[in-house]
Amino acid sequence: MSDILKKIVAVKHEEVASARRRRSMEAMRADAESRVLTRDFVGALRRRIDAGQAAVIAEVKKASPSKGVLREDFEPADIAQSYAEGDGIISAACLSVLTDRQFFQGSVDFLKQARASCELPVLRKDFLVDAYQVYESRAMGADAVLLIAACLEDAQMEDFEAIALDLGMAVLVEVHDGGELDRALKLRTPLIGINNRNLNTFDVSIETTLGLRPRVPADRLLVTESGIGTQADVVRLREAGVQSFLVGETFMRAPDPGIALAELFA
C-alpha cells in the first residue's frame, strides 16, 4: 500500500469511529435496509454496450490530492444533469460521485444532489474500510459502491460485497495490477475496474488496462479508470474490447461536462 493510501485509510478509520459515535451501526443498518429503490447500475452499463455505445461512468469530482481544485464553479446537480443530457445523442450511463471530504473535497450531500437531479444510477466513490460505510452508502442513496483492492484484505472485500449485494447495490472492485486482479476475480461482482494510475509514482497510462484486458473473463464487465483524455485513447481501448469508462478530471475542467463527454466519445 502506498504512503498516500495508508494515510487515507487511517483517516477513514477515524471518520468511521466518529460516525459510529454519532449514529450506531444498528441504526445505520436499519436505515440502509429501509431504502429499497436502487437503480440498476450494471444494467445501465450493459444496455449501452448492447446498443454498440461506450458505457460511460461520468464523475462528479471537485478536487484531487495531486491536482487541487478541478472546478471552482461546482454544482453537483447541474453537472449531473449535463452528464445525463450530453449532446442529446451521447450521454453518461451512470454517475460516480466523490464523497471523501479531506482529500477530494467531496461530500455526502454532493451525491444526494447529483442523484436527485437525474435518473442515472450513482456510484459512491470513496475509500471503504469498514462495513459501516457500506450501509452508510445505501442510506445516503448510492446505487453502487467502490471497493479498492489495494486497501482491503480478501475477507473484507467478500464481506463488504455481500452486504452491498444484499442491499441491492452493485459493486465495482478496483485494481491496479495483476495480483489485485486475481483477488478481485474471486468476488461475485461482474464489475472489474482497472485504474491506470500507478499508486507509487502517480503516473497514468492506459497501457495498464490494455495489458490486463486479456486476463479479464468474458463474463465480467471491465471498466477502465483514469488517464482517458483523448479520442485516440478511447479508440485504442474500444478496439481492444474495452467498452466501459470511468472519466472525471477531463470533464470537470470543461465548461459543459456533458458536451465534453459527448465530444470525447463521439
Report the C-alpha dihedral over residues 214, 209, 151, 202, rounded to 10 degrees: 150
240 Ramachandran zone, left/alpha/beta (phi>0; psi -120 to 50): alpha
User: In the 8-state DSSP scheme, what is residue 255?
Assistant: S
How many CB atoms sit inside 10 A of residue 175's CB?
A: 24
Give catalytic residue positions: 59, 61, 125, 174, 195, 225-226
3-state helix, strand, coil in the chain (%, to 5): 45, 15, 35
Q: What is the CA radius of gyration of the chain?
A: 17
151/107 Cα distance (integer angstroms)? 21
C-alpha cell at 122: 450513482
